[in-house]
């Protein structure tokens, strides 16, 4: 495979540059100090005895999806041990906070042949499970060379990724052939994977639908209870660059008729806090009217907006709200999982570009728990409190009737593991 050989050559050439790259990312707060060795595939942990399952969950979304899978695997086979690799600091925090017995975290090795080999030689997993869309050529190739069964779980493929892979049909077909089994999120992804040459594909649903309510530590948040109890809390969650400006302007208008409305902004990437502040100032909100969660200050009646620039606390604000505007779909990011806020009985509002969560939104829209915002004036529906309550109740009903995917997938994986071990 000429493309794959070129890729391997390039990754060998850039290997000496990985330490400066790590330092650069450390400076950007995208790496954790002292963890460069893990990026090279080494570990300070001890490999546990017995059967070892390796799960790779790249970012926060995949890490959250892995939780119900891990819990179900442990339930079906309590003795198995799990090593989970993630690619970001925030996804690590998701795993660490769960503190599941028998689960070890390590940062994923970068996709350089020797780094991948270091990792596999140390851990010697009995099965490799990749979540969603993780196709790293060297990592897959090295895992396959060691005769470790590889599974792609909760697989999804966007239109952009599909079109890009179509330019290299032989390469993607070769890489997909490494997977013993592929379990797609939906028929949409299955059809595209089949066109790319994948085999042995099943559809069991989306693991995210099995997710429990987002957990949070109440102790440092309960100081906000009294203030929020008296407010109509609106959460603007998982927003990306370019999505907040129009919504914040509309919130400013809504305050004229809804003076009790209180906005919580939780950007997808908390380090965008400075960008949010600039937008608020341009919309004529003063410093007295907004607050950063990281400041750890108390709320007072002057505050209209709360910027949630911390990790692991969004569930608290979903609990306090009755309406959520979910980002990622106002621009071309594909949306974010609406099940998370729906589990807290919220009316869900989204932009039109939710193609990464088509099934989830279709179900919620049909159930009357969600609404597409095609024009910012559509947000004036927030004035109709009876309608918002009705939508929130519809979301609650919808979430009670989904789930079971983790159990189906886990049974399949345990079967593969037992055949190999």
**pLDDT attached to residue 284:** 93
Q: Are 119 and 41 in contact (CB under 8 A)?
A: yes
pLDDT tens-digit map of 208-232: 888 788 888 888 899 999 999 999 9
**Shared-domain flag, residues 375 and 226:** yes
Does one domain contain both 86 and 40?
A: yes
Provide the CATH number for the domain around residue 237. 3.40.50.2000
- Strand positions, DSSP E, 167-293: 179-184, 201-203, 232-239, 261-267, 290-292
Span 165-186, pLDDT tens digits? 999 999 999 999 999 999 998 8
317 and 264 Cβ atoms separated by less than 8 Å? yes
Domain co-membership, 253 together with 345:
yes
- Residues 136-159: what's their mean pLDDT? 94
Residue 283: both structure tokens together: 């919309």
With a pLDDT cut of 90, the percent of the chain lying above it is 77
User: Where residue 345 falls among pLDDT bands split at 50, 70, 90?
Assistant: very high
- Helical ranges in 285-346 per DSSP H: 314-320, 339-342
Mean pLDDT of the chain: 93
| CATH code for the domain of 110 | 3.40.50.11720
Residue 147 lies in a domain: yes
State the pTM of this model: 0.76
More confident residue, 420 or 284: 284
* Domain count of the fold of the chain: 2
Residue-level pLDDT at 98: 82
- Mean pLDDT score, 267-280: 94
247 vs 349: CA distance, rounded Å: 11
For residues 199 and 104, membership in a common domain is answered with: yes
**3-class DSSP state for residue 82?**
strand
List, by residue number, the catalytic residues: 62
Domain span including residue 157: 2-203
Distance in angstroms (rounded) separating the CA atoms of residues 40 and 114: 8
Is residue 421 very low, low, confident or very high in pLDDT (cuts 50, 70, 90)?
A: low
User: Whole-angstrom Cα distance, residue 226 to residue 228?
Assistant: 6
For the stretch 96-106, pLDDT in tens is 888 888 899 99
Residues 54 and 144 in one domain: yes
């Amino acid at each position: 495979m000429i493309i794959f050989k070129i890729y391997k050559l390039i990754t060998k050439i850039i290997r000496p540059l990985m330490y400066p790259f790590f330092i650069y990312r450390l400076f950007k707060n995208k790496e954790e100090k002292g963890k460069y060795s893990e990026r090279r595939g080494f570990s300070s942990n001890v490999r546990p005895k017995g059967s070892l399952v390796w799960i790779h969950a790249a970012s926060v979304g995949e890490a959250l999806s892995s939780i119900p899978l891990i819990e179900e695997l442990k339930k079906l086979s309590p003795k198995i041990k799990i090593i989970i690799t993630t690619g970001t600091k925030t996804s690590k925090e998701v795993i660490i906070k769960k503190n599941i017995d028998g689960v070890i975290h390590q940062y994923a090795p970068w996709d350089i042949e020797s780094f991948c080999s270091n990792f596999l030689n140390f851990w010697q997993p009995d099965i490799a499970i990749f979540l969603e869309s993780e196709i790293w050529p060297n990592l897959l190739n090295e895992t396959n060379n060691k005769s470790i069964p590889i599974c792609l779980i909760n697989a999804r493929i966007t239109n952009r990724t599909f079109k890009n892979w179509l330019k290299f049909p032989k390469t993607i077909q070769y890489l997909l052939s490494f997977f013993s089994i592929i379990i797609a999120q939906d028929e949409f992804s299955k059809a595209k994977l089949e066109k790319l040459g994948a085999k042995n594909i099943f559809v069991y649903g989306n693991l995210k639908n099995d997710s429990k309510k987002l957990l949070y530590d109440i102790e440092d948040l309960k100081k906000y209870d009294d203030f929020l109890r008296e407010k109509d809390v609106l959460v603007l969650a998982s927003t990306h660059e370019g999505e907040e400006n129009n919504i914040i302007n509309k919130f400013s208008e809504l305050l004229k008729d809804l003076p009790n409305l209180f906005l919580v902004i939780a950007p997808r990437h908390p380090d965008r806090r400075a960008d949010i502040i600039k937008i608020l100032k341009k919309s004529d909100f003063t410093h007295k009217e907004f607050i950063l969660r990281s400041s750890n200050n108390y709320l007072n009646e002057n505050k209209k907006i709360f910027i949630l620039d911390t990790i692991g606390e969004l569930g608290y604000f979903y609990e306090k709200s009755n309406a959520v505007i979910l980002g990622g779909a106002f621009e071309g990011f594909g949306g974010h999982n609406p099940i998370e806020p729906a589990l807290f009985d919220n009316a869900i509002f989204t932009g039109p570009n939710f193609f990464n969560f088509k099934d989830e939104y279709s179900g919620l829209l049909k159930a009357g728990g969600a609404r597409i915002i095609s024009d910012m004036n559509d947000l004036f529906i927030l004035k109709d409190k009876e309608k918002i309550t009705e939508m929130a109740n519809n979301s609650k009903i919808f979430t009670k009737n989904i789930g079971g995917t983790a159990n189906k997938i886990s049974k399949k994986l345990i079967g593969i593991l037992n055949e190999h071990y």
